[in-house]
Amino acid sequence: MDVRVLKEREISVLRPHLGDELFSSLGRRRHACAALPDGGLFVMVRAPETGKPVHIFLGDALLLMVTDDQRSGHLVRELKSATPLEALHDFLEALTGDDAEKLERIEDTVTELEDELLTSKRPGKGIGSRIVALRRKLLSMKRHYEQFALVAGELADDLAGALPPEQFRRFQALRRHAEWLLAFVLHLRDYVTQVREAYQAQIDIEQNQIMKIFTVLTAVFLPLSLIVGWYGMNFEMPEYRWELGYAFVILLSAAVCVFCIWFFRRKRWF
């Protein structure tokens, strides 16, 4: 079997095999799987890490890959498959071979974030940006596994009659693996959403605590404002001629503050 890996700038070599219509639509596609009139098979996927397109043409004894993704080129060069179809299966399998471990590590990261939120009195710095980064990463992985599952499904279902019977089982297992990875990512996305809601709830609680403190302070000083307004009126009051009037107002203000603080503490408002 002849294996060739070309750069994206040499993609024009695919035009004679794909035809003008399919070739001109490649820039608008995220994935593709098509049986060609000359008996070949064309598959297009996106590399999981870089998102770069990976174009694969299968002939009778030829596997031609056009991509700028270095990992994909390295994987296909390492293949020892006997036929192009086997090489395509082995490449797609190797492309996501260690993704289960990656998803488990992401799950551990989300669990640590959740524990940090539940055990701390206030959210730490940078948690919000970490949650956003995880959501973006999972969104990218979701798109990758969706197109990967679609390609594997089309190959497994033999929509174009391109697979011999002995290849069905292997591609069906590949499709199930892709669907499992997609379900795992969707589960992690829901998990991150729950953690984000817990983070937002902590932010709201902290803001409520701050507002409660300001409310208590306002309630404590409101009676003092009333006393100031009362004695600031331009009326002749008996206290003005009382030698202890000034001390009385001071003690009255202090007593009002102490009473308000005692009352709020008793009600556990702060």
Q: What is the pLDDT of residues 186-205, one digit of tens each?
A: 999 999 999 988 888 888 87
- Asked if pLDDT for residue 237 goes beyond 90, the answer is no
Q: 């080129």: which residue's tokens?
A: 73
Amino acid 183: pLDDT: 93
> Can you read off the two tokens belonging to residue 168?
């069905």
What's the pLDDT band for 105 if we cut at 50, 70, 90? very high
If you average pLDDT over every residue of the chain, what do you get?
84
Sheet holding 32-35, edge to edge: 2-6, 62-67, 53-58, 41-46, 32-35
Amino acid 129: pLDDT: 87
**SS3 of residue 186 by DSSP:** helix
DSSP assignment string, 196-229: HHHHHHHHHHHHHHHHHHHHHHHHHHHHHHHHHH
Q: Does pTM surpass 0.75? A: no
- Asked if pLDDT for residue 32 goes beyond 80, the answer is yes
Amino acid 208: pLDDT: 81
For the segment 31-60, the average pLDDT, to the nearest whole number, is 84
Amino acid 270: pLDDT: 66
- What percent of the chain shows pLDDT beyond 70? 96
Identify which has the larger pLDDT, 82 or 16.
Answer: 16
**Pick from 103, 79, 104: nearest CA to 91:** 79
Distances (CA, A) of 29 to 46, 89, 100, 147, 216: 10, 21, 26, 10, 60
Structural domains of the chain in order of their starting residue, each with its CATH number: 1-81 (no CATH), 209-266 (1.20.58.340)
For the segment 218-225, the average pLDDT, to the nearest whole number, is 83
Burial pattern 93-110, b for ≥16 Cβ within 10 A else e, equals bbbbeebeeebeebeeeb
